[in-house]
A and B are shown apart, each in its own frame.
Chain A
Amino acid sequence: MALLEIRDVVKQFGDFTAVNHVSLSVEAGEFFTLLGPSGCGKTTLLRMLAGFEQPDLGEILLDGVNMAGVPPEKRPVHTVFQNYALFPHMTVAQNIAFPLKMAKVPAEEIKTRVAEVLDDVRLSQFASRYPHEMSGGQRQRVAIGRALVNRPRLLLLDEPLSALDAKLREEMQIELINLQKEIGITFVYVTHDQGEALALSHRIAVMNKGQVAQLDAPETIYSYPKSRFVADFIGQCNLLDATIKSIGADRMQVEIAGVGIAETLPVAGAQVGQSGCLTLRPEKIKLGATLPTGDADEVHFKGRVHDCLYLGDVTIYIVELENGMLVETMLPNSAPGRAKFFDDNDQVELAWRYDAGHFILA
């Protein structure tokens, strides 16, 4: 029995369907992420889990108990809000003690539990500070500590790192992973940041227009996106429009419009003549001034550097193929003392293996 079960949930605001027949389940101890662009319904779904919204249809079960009609204050579910929502008139310790006081925990136990949690979130020396006397990262940790202190069955996190700068965000990501491992509480994490989702989660539900577009482990989502939307939303991806020419046992030939024939992995249920797109991650494409030809597993194209984006560790090269199509590739700047390998207008060659990407039916 899964800890959390969402069955065919629908939520409408007027004419707008925020959540459209979503079903999924989350196992105990899992770090589960709802990922999607703004307006995809992830926050509405989270608010329904917290109890701030009621589903129009379907049901939400926690530990097998239907949560319909249970108000937020009665649910064993706590939320870490986007802007922390710390009580400004309470110290850090008072903030963390708040849910315990609401649960009428004896004063002595409150003291020890607050001290434990302060230790967990590494804020012991800040117990008597007020929120406005703390940095963003520290406030974030107070918010997490406050939500964890009376051991909810489920911790909901609503874009908790979005207000932090990039460096701090990375630190907090590592802290979150470790904290979740340590305390073993199930996390449901909402974000629009695909990098964050990939880094943190055990499983990700990618949402689009109120529906779950794909639900898989991060590696699967990244390497085998099921739809054009997922491929495009998660990371950088070349989406080459193509038509199926022939289907073999372990590979399939597709014609990339205006470029030529490429081989790729076969897709279940595909038929000759069907169109779709070939997805290719930039880092899966080989790039060089000259590349060896003759490997039957590879396709090979010539082109010219159209643009390059120097990012420090890697450089993104946008390569224009001979027919004018643009393909994004990347190379680590691995040669010593060298900023990047190519400049604009350099002649280059591209190659990728037949199993470097995969084909998505339209």
Chain B
Amino acid sequence: MAKSNRINKWLISGPPLLYLIIFFAIPSLIMAFAAFRYPGDYGGLLPLIGPNPDTGANELLVTAENWRDYLTFDNFGLFFSDPIYIELFLKSFWYAGITTLACLLLAYPLAWLIARSPKKYRDLMILLVILPFWSNFLIRVYAWMIILGPQGYFTMALNQVLGVVGLGPVQLMFSHFAVIIVLVYVHLPFMVLPLYANLEKHDMALLDAAQDLGASGWQRFWKVTWPLSLPGVWAGAALVFIPALGMFAVPDLVGGTDGIMIGNLIKQQFLDSRDWPFGSVLSIMLTLAVLLLAGLAAMVGRGGKRDAL
């Protein structure tokens, strides 16, 4: 009995585990290792295994004497040598942070409204929230390019209004604003869904109790609804912040030269500059930064409030 349980457990958890090992753990390790190597002559990495000039047989080229020719810390040195990389990191965190905050502000009332709607309409409304996923991501971004472009009705209308008060015209396309508005648009459903899942489960009797005990509308929200929705807020924030941080397609298409993010730089290193080791360094630094942030968030979230009044 115990044995067949164990077999069942492995049968169930085995395939996803294997998938994660092959497609996540091993590539991550390869990338971490690549950060310490030299780029190859035509992209890729400088090979560690190659034909021996004397015998022509493939063998390990690295030896105790010459390992410095194959392994290096210089890629990390490069990252810290120019503040432009740190600045780009900070800018990307800033974009992702603003995007997360904007998504939260837009999604919270929406999720609350859906969760409080009659049951028969809720599924329909959730369907509407995820409806944009039915069309291709790039097409949706291109649609934004038309909306934000100088000939778009939105931009023209805005500039008309600004013109009346003596301002503008402004260019919306290829700006920080364009990047953030499209990032918010793309990630909004990822904030709505976990918030809705959380808010829908709230016990309405708690709000009645709070009101009965003297809490005004705002107090009911801040003392009851908000703290109880924090798991949903954290889940939504993670689902928005992390992909937004690594996004390269949106800044590529609507950001122009000024709007690039760390994802664009990583993509450049791998595809354009053919500097895989430095691309790996950037990726690793990004991963570490996200882990650090998540760790900080977890520490703030946990706190001994048991004895507080």
Contacts and interface: CB of A to CB of B under 8 A. Distances in A.
Report if A and B associate in a common complex.
yes
Interface of A: 50-52, 71-74, 77-79, 81, 83, 85-89, 91, 93-94, 97-99, 102-103, 107, 110-111, 114, 128, 130, 146-147, 150
Q: How would you classify the secondary structure of chain B's contact residues: helix, strand, loop or mixed?
A: helix
Contact of B214 (A87, A99, A110, A130): A99
B285 interface: no
A81 B309 CA distance: 23
A85 B203 contact: yes
B214 A73 contact: yes
30 contacts: A50-B212, A72-B208, A72-B212, A73-B211, A73-B214, A73-B215, A73-B216, A74-B214, A79-B208, A81-B205, A81-B209, A83-B205, A85-B205, A87-B223, A87-B224, A88-B228, A89-B227, A91-B307, A93-B309, A94-B309, A97-B309, A98-B210, A98-B215, A98-B223, A99-B214, A102-B219, A128-B306, A130-B306, A146-B213, A150-B214
B57 interface: no
B297 interface: no
A7 B289 CA distance: 67
A4 B223 CA distance: 31
B300 to A, nearest CB: 16
Contact of B308 (A88, A94, A99, A102): A94
Interface string B196-228: 000000010110111111111001000110011
A72 B309 CA distance: 24
Contact of B213 (A83, A94, A99): A99
Interface of B: 203, 205-206, 208-216, 219, 223-224, 227-228, 306-309
Contacts of B205: 81, 83, 85
Contacts, number: 70
A52 B208 contact: yes
Identify which of B211, B213, B228 gathers the most chain A CB atoms within 10 Å of its CB.
B213
Contacts of A50: 212
B308 A72 contact: no
Given A94-B309, A128-B307, A81 B213 contact: no
A78 B208 contact: no
Contact of A85 (B209, B227, B309): B209
Given A97-B309, A102-B219, A78 B228 contact: no
Nearest to A149: B213
A303 B223 CA distance: 67
Nearest to A50: B212
Contacts of B309: 93-94, 97, 107, 110-111, 114
Given A73-B214, A73-B215, A102-B215, A91 B306 contact: yes
Identify which of B205, B209, B308 gathers the most chain A CB atoms within 10 Å of its CB.
B209
A89 B303 CA distance: 13
B219 A79 contact: no
Contacts of A111: 309
A98 B213 contact: yes
Contact of B212 (A78, A88, A97, A114): A78
A43 to B, nearest CB: 12
A79 B309 CA distance: 22
A85 B208 CA distance: 8
Nearest to B304: A128
Contact of A147 (B203, B213, B223, B306): B213
Contacts of B211: 52, 71-73
Nearest to B226: A89
